[in-house]
Amino acid sequence: MGAEAEKPAAGGGNVTLSFLVFETPNLDAAFWDAAIARASAKVPGVTIKKLVTPNVDRTGYAKQLDASGNLPDILQSVNPAGFAQAGKFAAFTADELKNFVAPTAGAVAGKIYQLPYNTQVIPVVYYNKTQFAEAGVTETPTTYQQLLDVSAKLKAKKITPFVVGGGGADTWADMYPLTGTVATDVYKKTPDWLTQRAAGSVKFADPAFTSAAQKISDLAKQGYIDPAGLSRSYADTEQAFRDGKGAMYPMGSWFATSADNKKPDFEIGAFPWPSDDGSLVVPTFTGGGTSVSSTAADVDLAKKWALAFDEDQQNNDAFVKADGSIPAIKGYKPPADMGPVYKATVEIYERGMAENAIVNAFSQETGDGSLPPGLADKTAVAVQDLITGKKPTSEFTAYLDDQWAKATQ
Amino acid sequence: MNDTRVPWLRPVVALFVGAVFFMPLYLVLVNVFKHGADIVPDPAGLPSPPTMDNIAAVLSRADNLFVYGLVNSVAVTAISITILTVLSAMLGHYIARSRHLLAKVVMVTLLCGLLIPSPVILAPITMVLRALGLMSTAPGLILVNLGYYVPFGVLLFMGFVKSVPLELEEAARLDGASTFRTFWQVVFPLLRPASASVLIFLGVWIWNDFLTPLIVLGPDSGTTVTVGVYRAIGEHQSDFGSVFAFMFLATLPILVFYLALQSSFVKGLTGGAIKG
Amino acid sequence: MTHTRHGVRGGDPPAAHRPPLPSGPTPLRDRPPRDRPPRGRRRVSGRITTFALFALPGLLAYLLFVLVPIGMTAYYSMTNRNPFNPPTKWVGLRNYAELLGDAEFLKALANTVVVTVIVMVLANVGGLLIAQLLDRPTRLYVALRGVFFTPVVLSSVVVSVIWQVVLTDDGLLNSALRGLGVEDPPGWLSDPGIALYTIAWVITWQMLGFCVVVYLAGLQGVPRELQEAAAIDGCGPLARFRNVTWPMLAPALTINTVMLLITGFKAYDQIQVITNGGPGTGTTTTMAFQVVQTSFNGNRVGYGSAMAAVMLVLVACVSVLVLRVLQRREVTR
């Protein structure tokens, strides 16, 4: 029977551990193989069997594998929600986490099940400098009203203000504007809003969240969001921005390296999603690292390998170069030759850290204070209703409250 | 339609309708042989110059996704449909000839199997496989195929068996042949069109099935070529050249298989029901 | 006839009194041994062997991999099974009660019905028309038949990818329309009012060739003499079709309709690849899609199993109904 080639680690293997990864245009097979080899070189006695998710939804695939009794031993960037509570993942000790900048990020009931190895700013508003100039925009917006003014100017010149995706199987790609507005309108005042929601003391229908959702609805009504995006897959959406089909592209910071590595024919700038009063709000997600299954053949060895994988300097350099991540490892500095868009993104992050303006990124959180399983997907689908105008904001928030109740029964 | 009055009308209309219908397939074909960079700006034009780069890229992938997938697909499909043809012919014959009420009950139960989409029972199927120790194995996948597709085969064969005169079988048995030999030497050869239909339909369905092999075989036992298509789409959505090349290469074997069997297959599908 | 004790003890009655041989089949006991079916234990073991050889393997595979999973699904449907939220408890019919009021499920059901009806009508009508168009023996038409049948042989994932490329808002169809001067072509996949019909079209496209082939076989089974006789009687082409051809196509209609019904009902791949149920909640969800989402993505296996059970019962009832109606037409030819 033909089978995928196994990747033996340097130093041979006494224990074979399966490792679930996912391939994207940024992170291809060669990338993973090299990263795996580096980690295996540091932890002898392990043979890694690389498994690849068939599409980008690695969490969904991990669930399918678990449902068929095949949960991989080590998993990369799989949301631990559900797995942790069901005891399927192994927890990392505080000592194991000593090299991480944010050792409590994404904790479930106070324990860490996914190494918080990198930070991503979600969203950053990347923009087409040429089109901004065409529309006579000279400064990037710092308040939300200025953002609306810029959009109006762009629209007047027949330039679509926002490129937003969400088509094909990539429904999640439509969430980024909402993540931005929730950060400015909800999380800035109430950083632990989702924890309060879990306790039932706030609801989606409350004014704070409603105002965040209403902003999206208004953007769509004014025609600032291109509804064609609802038919575009994630890759097509990025391509649309590169083809100049819209001036602003709210997207996670992983876009930065794609922008630098494959330059479009215009310069790209970046600014954070503006709040009403202009104060800085930087929504981030820290986590995204490796998890270990509690049923792995040798859990301690698997954990050692996972730590080696996430802490290795060269692996992190490779991740930074390929995927624009901001590694949250103590003492780590990204390579000096990163491109301008990445540098601009990191600058936003560092400003946020300095001004204490870091908040969570709505729908990206994991662990305590995150959405119940399946709800992020449902929210993404419901956002499509906001964009097409099929549902008014009140119905949208009511739907979210209703789905929350269903998911937590 | 009276052809003698406007003789060119029929072929023109037929060609036009056919061309419109074929357009999406034309798009795939024309872009498989086009340089990747030329696809997006000019998706409908003919490739100039034509290139085999996309196909070469698929065949020489570092993880050999296509080649391993092809081997797995051919093996699983060929074994499954061969066994299925044998099993459904025998079971169909048994039910058609049986006079018991039980046989009719069995037939109705089999019909239920036709109506279930496989995603719906996939999770319990994996539990059964695990209990048998066959999860993530090719034999496990083949057995799942057998169980799932046997109703269709039985239905097809049942219709056909009814058109084989009972006297033929009785005559053979009178001559001392066992039921088994009677079936294989007398009845089965007469069921050839039905066998062709079963082989084609089940071959196409099993070859194209992506969810079942994805879950049953799992990620580390190697995949089938259709799962490979799904993965290729996931990774390289904007690289149409390699996605289309993968789809093209993954379809070629089953297309050839169909073309080889197509003459007998229609007879099999309709012969039992439609009398000429 | 008299059988005295005398006669029985003494052997056969004298020839003159032997009753004449009956004119029917030779009674079992009078036949030579080889003609008799095995009696007693040999017969039973023969029947068991036949069963074991012919029926058992197929039935066993079916039992293990279809019936048992269906049974398990039925069982789970009455629990609140959630692999990430143990323990599993029996809840009786609560899931079913919840289904009745579940707007998402009902929308998925409605969507499935819409898609199935469209596919059944379009593919049937289209298949019939094209079959009539191609009903000539020359090579051109034989080649065209192959063209129409090719999509049937393709994987539905492949078909979905192809159509998604064609139908995105800046895809090939809209580019062509814009080239023809259409200013604002519809959002085939991004407009929630159209998306469901687009999906129905994709499924129809894939199944059209199947209907064409089946109708062609049916058309070729209509005797020319009947057609000519009707023409001589003064029937125009339409009347000929209605009175001669159409009734004889009844079996083809049955096969096509049932096949399309099952295909439409089971629709999953196309939705997953092209729209993922969107754009917007419940726009293009079908029942099979909803079941997979609930069980796998939402982890509510118990509830998802109840959905699956309802789906199965529905499609079984509809199929039986459709079959009954259509097969009645076949008999009264």
- pLDDT value at A360 more than 50: yes
Report the neighbours of A using a cutoff of 3 or more CB pairs below 8 angstroms.
B, C
- pLDDT value at C4 more than 50: no
- pLDDT value at A164 more than 90: yes
Residue C296: which of A67, A85, A387 has the nearest Cβ?
A67
Q: What is the pLDDT of residue A13?
A: 53
Residue C34's pLDDT band (cuts 50, 70, 90): low
- pLDDT value at C139 more than 90: no
Contact flag B150-C62 (C-beta cutoff 8 Å): yes
The whole-model pTM stands at 0.81
- pLDDT value at C40 more than 70: no
Residue labelled with tokens 């860490």? A112
Return the higher-pLDDT residue of C177 and C202.
Answer: C202
Q: What is the pLDDT of residue C14?
A: 44
Per-residue pLDDT reduced to its tens digit, C252-297: 888 889 889 988 888 888 888 888 887 888 889 999 889 888 887 7
Other beta carbons within 10 angstroms of residue A238's beta carbon come to 24
Residue C69's pLDDT band (cuts 50, 70, 90): very high
- pLDDT value at A399 more than 90: yes
Q: What is the pLDDT of residue A227?
A: 83
C-alpha pair distances (Å), A56 with each of A99, C29, C150: 29, 75, 30
Residue-averaged pLDDT of chain A:
88
Burial class (CB in 10 A: 0-12, 13-18, 19+), B35: middle
Residue labelled with tokens 């924890």? A195
- pLDDT value at A220 more than 70: yes
Rounded to an integer, the average pLDDT of A10-32 is 79
Is residue C125 a contact partner of residue C239, using CB atoms and an 8 Å limit? no
* Rounded Cα gap, residues A142 and A144, in angstroms: 7
Residues with Cβ within 8 Å of C258's Cβ and at least 6 positions away in sequence, in order, are: C319, C322, C323, C326
Lowest model confidence (mean pLDDT) among A106-115, A207-216, B161-170, C187-196: B161-170
* Rounded Cα gap, residues A221 and A217, in angstroms: 6
Rounded to an integer, the average pLDDT of C112-138 is 92
Lowest model confidence (mean pLDDT) among A52-66, A207-221, B147-161, C277-291: A52-66
Residues with Cβ within 8 Å of A73's Cβ and at least 6 positions away in sequence, in order, are: A17, A18, A19, A292, A293, A295, A296, A297, A302
Contact flag C279-A67 (C-beta cutoff 8 Å): no
- pLDDT value at C17 more than 50: no
Return the higher-pLDDT residue of B193 and B253.
Answer: B253
Contact flag C218-B11 (C-beta cutoff 8 Å): no
Return the higher-pLDDT residue of C149 and C331.
Answer: C149
Rounded to an integer, the average pLDDT of B90-95 is 87
C-alpha pair distances (Å), B142 with each of B115, B146, B149, C57, C62: 20, 6, 10, 13, 12
Could you give the 3-state DSSP secondary structure of residue A19?
Answer: strand
Other beta carbons within 10 angstroms of residue C41's beta carbon come to 8
Q: Which residues pair with A51 in a beta bridge?
A: A20
- Written as six digits, the tokens of C202 are 């994709």
Which residue of C76, C178, C190 is the best one to mutate when testing the A interface, meaning the one whose CB has the most A CBs within 10 A?
C190
The four Cα atoms C2, C7, C8, C14 give a dihedral, to 10 degrees, of -90
Is residue B35 a contact partner of residue B47, using CB atoms and an 8 Å limit? yes
Residue B126: which of A23, A69, A233 has the nearest Cβ?
A69
Could you give the 3-state DSSP secondary structure of residue A125?
Answer: strand
Q: Classify residue C29 by its DSSP letter.
A: G
Q: What is the pLDDT of residue B219?
A: 72
Residue B76's pLDDT band (cuts 50, 70, 90): very high
Q: What is the pLDDT of residue C11?
A: 38
Contact flag C61-B87 (C-beta cutoff 8 Å): yes
Q: What is the pLDDT of residue A89?
A: 94
Can you give the length of chain A in residues?
A: 409
Most confident of A227-236, A327-336, C136-145, C196-205: C196-205
Closest residue in C to A165 (Cα) is C190
Residue C287: φ, ψ to 5°: -65, -45
Residues with Cβ within 8 Å of B20's Cβ and at least 6 positions away in sequence, in order, are: none
Task: Indicate whether this complex's ipTM tops 0.90.
Answer: no
Return the higher-pLDDT residue of C91 and B65.
Answer: C91
Q: What is the pLDDT of residue B275?
A: 39
Return the higher-pLDDT residue of C214 and A181.
Answer: A181
Other beta carbons within 10 angstroms of residue C69's beta carbon come to 25
Q: What is the pLDDT of residue A159?
A: 92
Contact flag C73-B124 (C-beta cutoff 8 Å): yes
Residue labelled with tokens 């995706």? A165
Return the higher-pLDDT residue of C239 and A243.
Answer: A243
Is residue B62 a contact partner of residue B68, using CB atoms and an 8 Å limit? no
Closest residue in A to B232 (Cα) is A54
Give 3-state DSSP helix, strand, coil % of chain C, rounded to 5. Answer: 70, 0, 30
* Rounded Cα gap, residues A281 and A123, in angstroms: 11
E strand or H helix that includes residue B227? helix B225-235
Q: What percent of chain A has pLDDT over 70?
A: 96
Contact flag A167-C85 (C-beta cutoff 8 Å): no
- pLDDT value at B11 more than 70: yes
Q: What is the pLDDT of residue A184?
A: 93
- pLDDT value at A119 more than 50: yes
- pLDDT value at A241 more than 80: yes
- Give Dmax over CA atoms of chain A in angstroms: 66
Q: Classify residue A229 by its DSSP letter.
A: G
Q: What is the pLDDT of residue B266?
A: 62
Within chain A, how many helices (H) and strands (E) appear?
Answer: 14, 11
* Rounded Cα gap, residues A339 and A115, in angstroms: 27
Radius of gyration in angstroms for the set of CA atoms belonging to chain B, rounded to a whole number: 23
CA distance A65 to chain C (A): 10
Per-residue pLDDT reduced to its tens digit, A52-68: 887 777 888 888 788 77
Residue-averaged pLDDT of chain B:
82
Rounded to an integer, the average pLDDT of A189-204 is 91
Contact flag B69-A2 (C-beta cutoff 8 Å): yes
Q: What is the pLDDT of residue C9?
A: 34
Is C58 an interface residue toward B (CB < 8 Å)? yes
* Rounded Cα gap, residues A70 and A65, in angstroms: 5
Residue B244's pLDDT band (cuts 50, 70, 90): confident
> What's the one-letter identity of residue A278?
G
